[in-house]
Chains A and B, each alone.
Chain A
Amino acid sequence: MTNLDAIEDTKRSKKVLVLFAHPAQTRSEVNVPLFHEAQLNKHVTAVDLYAEYPDFNIDIEREQQRLIDHDVIVFLFPLYWYSTPSILKEWQDLVLEYGFAYGHEGTALKDKLFLCALSAGGKEEAYQTNGFNHYTIRQLLQPLEQMAQITHMTYIAPFAIFGSRTAQEEHRVIQHKEKWVTLLNKLTTNTLNLEKAKNIENLADLCTAQGD
């Protein structure tokens, strides 16, 4: 790689913040491996929220600075009752303050990219209008989509892993990890097709190693 390429490379590269929330990591079979992959990527800041704030005493100042320092914000979590684990809700309630994230002067998050990466125990067929859970994942995550919009961020489809309770038994973890690594690489190098990413149902479908 020539120097020029390197400069070009850093210009294009995006800083990704992964906010990971899993309150029972000893039981995790999918999320923790994904989080470890995120830790290995040097353009990604991987934060274990339950480790940093075990007593939910979230440092608002520090979390806001983290948001300012990154271009892409990712929530990584297992789906609990069709939503995030509670610390991510607490994080929103505390960190996304009036005058910072929203309101007339609250533009700190303007034009950042926001997405969810989550694992769901149920199968993909269950998350359909006519399925067991009646709504698609994208529909269920609409509160977060609206959060992104009111904070002036660009919202793209979630990276969803279905059937996570049996992923290990069915030897799918490796394959999920590969897609996740591909996604992180596309995000950090800014090579994700955003138009497609905004409109599809599951970002994982864009993350085959061959490209889109």
Chain B
Amino acid sequence: MTGYFLYAFIYLVAAVIAVPIAKRLGLGSVLGYLIAGLVIGPIFGLVGDETVAIQHFAEFGVVMMLFLVGLELEPRSLWAMKAKLMGLGGLQLALTTALITGVALLLDQPFSIALTIGLIFALSSTAIVLQTLQEKGLQKTEGGKSAFSVLLFQDIAVIPMLAFIPLFAIPELVQAGNAHGGDTGSHDSFNLVEGLAPWASGLVIISSIAFLTIGGHYLSRPLFKFVASSGLREIFTATALMLIIGIAALMGLVGLSPALGAFLAGVVLANSEFRHELEANIEPFKGLLLGLFFITVGAGINFSVLSERPMLIAGLTVAVMLVKAIVLFVIALIFKIKGTNKWLFTLSLAQAGEFGFVLLSFASQNYVLPSDIISVLSLVVAISMFLTPGLFILFDKAIIPHYKNVKSQRAEDAIDEKGTVVIAGIGRFGQIINRLLVANDVNTVVLDIRAEQIDLIRRIGTKAYFGDASKPDILHTAGAHDAALLVIAIDDRETAAEMVKYAKHALPNTKVLARAFDRGHGYRLRQLGADFVVSETYHSALEMGAEALRSLNIHPFHVERQKMAYKNIETQQNDVLYHAWVDDASGERVDNNYLKLFIELESLIENALKADLHDKHSKMRGWTPPPKGYTESLAPDENPNRNNT
């Protein structure tokens, strides 16, 4: 037991130290994990053989990652970007695979090995690229969007590849592996379809996929609703984990890839109101497991291979990156991606990616690639990933200054992005806000903690998700970090205050609009940094008051003006009252200045609105005629009408 703790501690220490440093140096977290692995593995030798076992466990992070990729892919939005996806992504994958396979064939590799190598190197690093684009604020540019399309296509293409690669198994390696009695065969012992007739196994596979799709669609909702109604957060997490592990187990039983099953389940649940809550729950597990996976990759890097054949590895790395960059550049030309976007697209995707590692270990388990080739290829994948931050630095330092003069072009395509609005709370208050925004083509993401409320709203056709908006991770997965606005429309006073506090602290670029219960609560929200605060009953009470006046036969336009005057005074006095409130609340004054000022406000409003009995005008300005007898008092030469013209 203590041994496990020791190993876990070494891994965690390495991650905790290396990842933040890598991030600060602009290298991104993936490289941080790889470096951490390098340090504890080949450099200091703190960990050893158990990395292989841990790696199998950590690969479950990839299953989770594919589940999350699936969750992000609403079938509809996937359909909307089909042209880009198939065009950019398909062409990139096909051309790169073909070229690299060709090079491998030239180097005297048999066709099956050459093609596997081509597929492995055609993939780029989703984790590094998406994260870097996001960090640099480039994900909304044309180059960023195109890169995303390619990465998405690759992520999807991995699934057929996982099904495809085992077909290339090299008989001699399989025999050798079986003779060794390696542990890789162990999961096959739970295979349901083994020994069944081909038609029967086909039937089992098809029915299990059908179960996954239909069950995911119809059973998950009542299940999640049942769990959500308990209000226990950890049980929801347990449910999410149960779901993924169950799918992985089911897929394993019928001999399919767990990653494929998880991806399918993700797509099925992408439309579900529980999507964001699921994402928020799985995300940390995925992050840690993937981190662990990258550490084991780093730890498994074979330095002896690098020192034995440095020229070969350097040459291969340069060749791979060059081939990838050239293919991307040509595609950018074909699809008329221009200026800095062309270079961003070319440089950002020129590395091999984490799925390369997955395919490599998968290929090794399935006896497709011999181990000496695998150790060389892993080094090439890892080194090309290490070089990616360098390419981004090249983009920043060399490409952008070159295009500085056409900057206006970029500013223009940024305008059409209106930015999304996250609305927390979709009760009586939030619904009206949401309707108004949606009617104006604003993208909204609606969150509420009441599953039945969400159900109701979704029936009207509004995009709404179940989730506790006061939890930072759910806000994060709902996209609050790059939302233009966060509207807090929940009716719990304490939670609203906490949300404002968190949002202003963690989302500096997001404007916060908050609903207040009353004046005091409103001032508290303002003190915590809310950009706009409105008391929930202020405007409706004002309307009701106005209607009361109209019902008493006071002229409707006069009533309107009185209402305006009320608002004007309220706005003017608001600051004064707020500062008095802050002083009182912080104990700087003990004389109840706020209360005095509040009474003063009452009389100010009363005085301003009270009609002047003398000339029947209120003291408000506007449309005041000149004094009676004014025109008679004008001397003829003073009459401005007779100016010389």
A complexed with B: yes
Q: A55-B564, A97-B621, A151-B640 are known contacts; what are 20 more A-B pairs with Cβ within 8 Å?
A: A57-B567, A57-B568, A60-B621, A60-B622, A93-B622, A93-B623, A94-B622, A97-B624, A98-B624, A98-B627, A98-B630, A102-B640, A103-B626, A103-B630, A104-B633, A146-B641, A149-B640, A149-B643, A149-B645, A152-B640
- A67 lies within 8 A of chain B by Cβ: no
In whole angstroms, how far apart are the Cα atoms of A57 and B621 in the complex? 11
On whether the beta carbons of A149 and B624 are closer than 8 Å, the reply is no
Assess A57 versus B564: contact at CB under 8 Å? Given A149-B641, A152-B640: yes
- A47 lies within 8 A of chain B by Cβ: no
- A192 lies within 8 A of chain B by Cβ: no
- A150 lies within 8 A of chain B by Cβ: yes
Assess A94 versus B621: contact at CB under 8 Å? Given A55-B564, A57-B568: yes
Task: Determine the chain A residues whose CB is within 8 A of the CB of B625 once the complex forms.
Answer: 98
In whole angstroms, how far apart are the Cα atoms of A102 and B641 in the complex? 11
* Chain A-chain B contacts (Cβ-Cβ < 8 Å), number: 32
Task: Determine the chain A residues whose CB is within 8 A of the CB of B641 once the complex forms.
Answer: 146, 149-150
| A–B Cβ pairs within 8 angstroms, 19 of them | A55-B564, A57-B564, A60-B622, A93-B622, A93-B623, A94-B622, A94-B623, A97-B621, A98-B624, A98-B625, A98-B627, A102-B640, A103-B626, A103-B630, A104-B633, A149-B641, A149-B643, A149-B645, A150-B640
Within 8 A of B (CB), among A139-182: 146, 149-152
Q: Report which residue of B630, B641, B643 has the largest number of chain A beta carbons within 10 angstroms of its beta carbon.
A: B643
**Secondary structure of the B side of the interface?**
loop
Q: How far is the CB of A99 from chain B (nearest CB, A)?
A: 8
Number of interface residues of A (CB under 8 A): 15
Mark each residue of chain B from 623 to 645: 1 if its CB lies under 8 Å from any CB of chain A, else 0: 11111001001000000110101
Mark each residue of chain A from 83 to 94: 1 if its CB lies under 8 Å from any CB of chain B, else 0: 000000000011
Within 8 A of A (CB), among B592-625: 621-625
Task: Determine the chain A residues whose CB is within 8 A of the CB of B630 once the complex forms.
Answer: 98, 103
Q: How far is the CB of A57 from chain B (nearest CB, A)?
A: 5
Task: Determine the chain B residues whose CB is within 8 A of the CB of A98 once the complex forms.
Answer: 624-627, 630
Task: Determine the chain B residues whose CB is within 8 A of the CB of A151 once the complex forms.
Answer: 640
Task: Determine the chain B residues whose CB is within 8 A of the CB of A150 once the complex forms.
Answer: 640-641
Q: How far is the CB of B572 from chain A (nearest CB, A)?
A: 10
Within 8 A of B (CB), among A80-135: 93-94, 97-98, 102-104
Q: Report which residue of A57, A146, A149, A151 has the largest number of chain B beta carbons within 10 angstroms of its beta carbon.
A: A57
Q: How far is the CB of A60 from chain B (nearest CB, A)?
A: 5
Task: Determine the chain B residues whose CB is within 8 A of the CB of A93 once the complex forms.
Answer: 622-623
Q: Report which residue of A93, A103, A151 has the largest number of chain B beta carbons within 10 angstroms of its beta carbon.
A: A103
Task: Determine the chain B residues whose CB is within 8 A of the CB of A60 once the complex forms.
Answer: 621-622
Q: How far is the CB of A33 from chain B (nearest CB, A)?
A: 15
Return the chain B residue nearest A150 by Cβ: B640
Q: How far is the CB of A17 from chain B (nearest CB, A)?
A: 21
Return the chain A residue nearest B630 by Cβ: A103
Q: How far is the CB of B566 from chain A (nearest CB, A)?
A: 11
Task: Determine the chain B residues whose CB is within 8 A of the CB of A149 once the complex forms.
Answer: 640-641, 643, 645
In whole angstroms, how far apart are the Cα atoms of A102 and B645 in the complex? 19
Q: How far is the CB of A7 from chain B (nearest CB, A)?
A: 34
Q: How far is the CB of A65 from chain B (nearest CB, A)?
A: 14
Mark each residue of chain A from 55 to 70: 1 if its CB lies under 8 Å from any CB of chain B, else 0: 1010010000000000
In whole angstroms, how far apart are the Cα atoms of A152 and B643 in the complex? 9
